[in-house]
Amino acid sequence: MRALALVTATAALVGCGKSEPPPFRLNMTNVVAKQIAPEHQQAIANILGAMFGSPDEPVALKETGLDQIKLDMAAGPVWSDKVGTKHGLYRRHCVHCHGISGDGRGPTAVILNPYPRDYRPGIFKFKSTYTSAEPTTADLMKTLHEGIPGTAMPSFALLPPDEVAALVEYVKYLSMRGQMETALESHVADELNPGDKFDPANDPAIQKLVMQDLLGPIVEAWGRAKDQVIAPEDASIPQDNRSPQELAASVRAGRDLFYGTRANCVKCHGPTALGDGQQDDYDNWNKATNEFIKATDDKIAQIDSLKADLAKAQGDDATQIRQQIQDAQKEFTERHALVSRLLSPRNAIPRNLREGVFRGGRRPIDVFWRVSSGIPGTPMPASGPAAEGAQGTLTQKEIWQIVDYVHSLPFEPASLPQKRPINSSEVSTGE
């Protein structure tokens, strides 16, 4: 029976250890695609660590304008021994989809369609700003508040406002960190040779470069977002007291645009507006995956052709080609190891416009923003101007006509869609 005590003790030992605090991880597809040397990877991780801290201890650098108190609330492990402190919100609500580094690769991600957002490129789909601008805080709040109907993103409206604010701040933080990482990686890949030192701590010039040239534009873009909101001109906004005839006219104009070549909504959303047009396109995130996979496959072809060259080559040439083969094979091995871990690409399915539920909201202004600035990162293009004062494909008046048309589409129960084309006689005008 002495063995009994032994077994119990062993069981207790195995169970009681703590996991290591999780680190942020580098974007390995980018690192491998850019062939960044291990010492430079380490340097990038060090710089990011110094600027942004770790998932357990985030740093709100003064230059970023982030709020340290909010970050502390959102970061860290869920379970805290300290009584009454709010802690670990991100890991309680978000991490299993969006991942510890905000890369959209949490464990749950693989079963979702569409995949959860990767924050690192700083591209957000549903926002009130111009197509290439960052979203405003209010935009992110709205997404948290309403969720994204039609995806696995639920509403977090029941969280206290301070918790939602903390989470929004943390999303921005992850986004900035990801953009900074990409900037650093591009810099290293473009500017540095293997073996070059990259250590801002001991080199003021590099420090200035990192803080001003790389971080500067990122922070600036986020700061500028609130001035980039697309405000429809009063003149273009439809009157509240339109007569049914006026509304019908607007809907008819919208319908023409919908089927016409300029707006060409019909291409993807289909003649029935059920989202059954072109369905085989990809969004940016999946395109990147596709490209990575294709480049990996290309490596095989490259190695084969190099091998053919080697058979013909002699002397120094042969040595050089052998070196090239070795390099290509190394890259292929690295890429191949990553490919199996990527989320397999999924098509971007155009929205069914006849459910009355839109991912980015159903108010006319929401649909207006969707048409005007598009859905960044997806095949849905911006039809409005790309920036203040620029010329868009459509005028604001025309965008409002499309909004009217979309709102006039008859509802179809999601479970029983009728694949009838909608002719104008079926368009409901509220008469």
Partner 1 sequence: MKHFWAVLFLLVPIFGVLAFVLAPYYNHSFPRDISENGRVIDQLFYFILYLTGILFVATEGALFYFMWKYNGRTNREPVKYSHGSHTLEVVWTILPAVTLLFIAIYQMNAWADAKMRKPDVPVTAEITGRQFNWDVRYPGPDGILHTQDDIILVDGEIHFPAGEEVLLSIKAADVLHSFFLPNIRMKQDVVPGMQQYMWFKCREQKAEVDIVCAELCGWGHYKMSGRATFEPRSEFNAWLAKKYAEQQAHRITQATAP
Partner 2 sequence: MSTITADSHAHAHGEHAHTGSFLSTYVFSRDHKVIGIQFLFSTLIWFFIGGLLALGVRWQLAYPWSDMPILGRLLFSAQGGQIAPETYTMLFTMHATVMIFLVIIPILAGAFGNFLIPLMIGADDMAFPTLNMLSYWFMWPAFLAFGTSFFIGTGPMSGWTSYPPLSLTIDAQKFWLVGLTCVGISSMMGSVNYLTTIIQMRAPGMTMFRLPMTIWAMFITAVLQAFALPVLTAAGFMQLADLTLGTGFFIPEGWSWNNTLHAAGGGQPLLWQHLFWFYSHPAVYIMILPAMGMVSDIIACFARKPLFGYKPMVYSIAGIAGLGFIVWGHHMFVSGMSPVLGMTFMVATMFIALPSAIKVFNWLGTIWGAKIQFTTPMLFALSFVSMFIIGGLSGIFMAATPVDIFIHDTYFIVAHFHYVLFAGTAMAVFGAIYFWFPKMFGRMMNEKWGKVHFFLTFIFLNGVFYPMHILGWVGFPRRLADPYHYETFRHLLPLNQFMTWCAIAMVCSQSIFAINFFYSIFFGPPAGRNPWHSNTLEWQAPSPPGHGNFDFQPVIYRGPYEYGSPEVDIDYYPQTMPPPQNRPVAAPAH
> Binding partner of residue 205 among partner 2, partner 1, none, CB under 5 to 8 Å per kind?
none
Unique residue bearing structure tokens 């620029």: 390
> Binding partner of residue 242 among partner 1, partner 2, none, CB under 5 to 8 Å per kind?
none
Asked if 368 contacts 403 with a C-beta cutoff of 8 angstroms, the reply is: yes
Between 8 and 428, name the residue whose CB sits nearer to partner 1.
428
- For residues 152 and 142, what is the distance between their CA atoms, to the nearest angstrom? 16
In the complex, minimum distance from the CB of residue 97 to partner 2, in angstroms, rounded to a whole number:
9
In the complex, minimum distance from the CB of residue 364 to partner 1, in angstroms, rounded to a whole number:
5
Between 263 and 367, name the residue whose CB sits nearer to partner 1.
367
Least Cα distance to 153 among 161, 162, 144 occurs for 144
Is there a cis peptide before residue 114, judged by omega within 30 degrees of 0?
yes
In the complex, minimum distance from the CB of residue 176 to partner 2, in angstroms, rounded to a whole number:
21
In the complex, minimum distance from the CB of residue 75 to partner 2, in angstroms, rounded to a whole number:
11
Asked if 232 contacts 396 with a C-beta cutoff of 8 angstroms, the reply is: yes
- For residues 227 and 223, what is the distance between their CA atoms, to the nearest angstrom? 9
Between 267 and 346, name the residue whose CB sits nearer to partner 1.
346
Binding site for partner 1 (CB under 8 A): 108, 111, 128, 136-139, 142, 145-147, 149, 152, 154-155, 157-158, 225-226, 229, 231-232, 237-238, 240, 356-357, 362-365, 368, 400, 407-408, 410-411, 413-415, 428, 430
- For residues 276 and 281, what is the distance between their CA atoms, to the nearest angstrom? 12
Binding site for partner 2 (CB under 8 A): 1, 3-4, 7-8, 11, 14-22, 25, 55-56, 77-79, 88, 91-92, 95-96, 99-100, 106-108, 110-114, 150, 158, 349, 414-417
What is the DSSP code string of 131-197? TTSPPPHHHHHHHHHH--TTSS----TTS-HHHHHHHHHHHHHHHHHHHHHHHHHHHHHHH--TT--
In the complex, minimum distance from the CB of residue 413 to partner 2, in angstroms, rounded to a whole number:
8
Between 200 and 275, name the residue whose CB sits nearer to partner 1.
275
Between 88 and 385, name the residue whose CB sits nearer to partner 2.
88
In the complex, minimum distance from the CB of residue 99 to partner 2, in angstroms, rounded to a whole number:
8
Between 245 and 326, name the residue whose CB sits nearer to partner 1.
245
Record the tokens describing residue 292, joined without a space: 């990575």
In the complex, minimum distance from the CB of residue 415 to partner 2, in angstroms, rounded to a whole number:
5
Between the CA of residue 137 and those of 99, 131, 148, 172, 248, what are the distances in Å? 21, 16, 16, 9, 36
> Binding partner of residue 79 among partner 2, partner 1, none, CB under 5 to 8 Å per kind?
partner 2
Detail the DSSP E strand segments found in 190-322: none
Record the tokens describing residue 37, joined without a space: 């040397």
Residue 319 corresponds to which amino acid?
T
> Binding partner of residue 372 among partner 1, partner 2, none, CB under 5 to 8 Å per kind?
none
- For residues 123 and 354, what is the distance between their CA atoms, to the nearest angstrom? 27
> Binding partner of residue 170 among partner 1, partner 2, none, CB under 5 to 8 Å per kind?
none
Between 293 and 349, name the residue whose CB sits nearer to partner 2.
349
Helices 244-259/396-408 angle, 10° precision: 100
- For residues 148 and 413, what is the distance between their CA atoms, to the nearest angstrom? 19
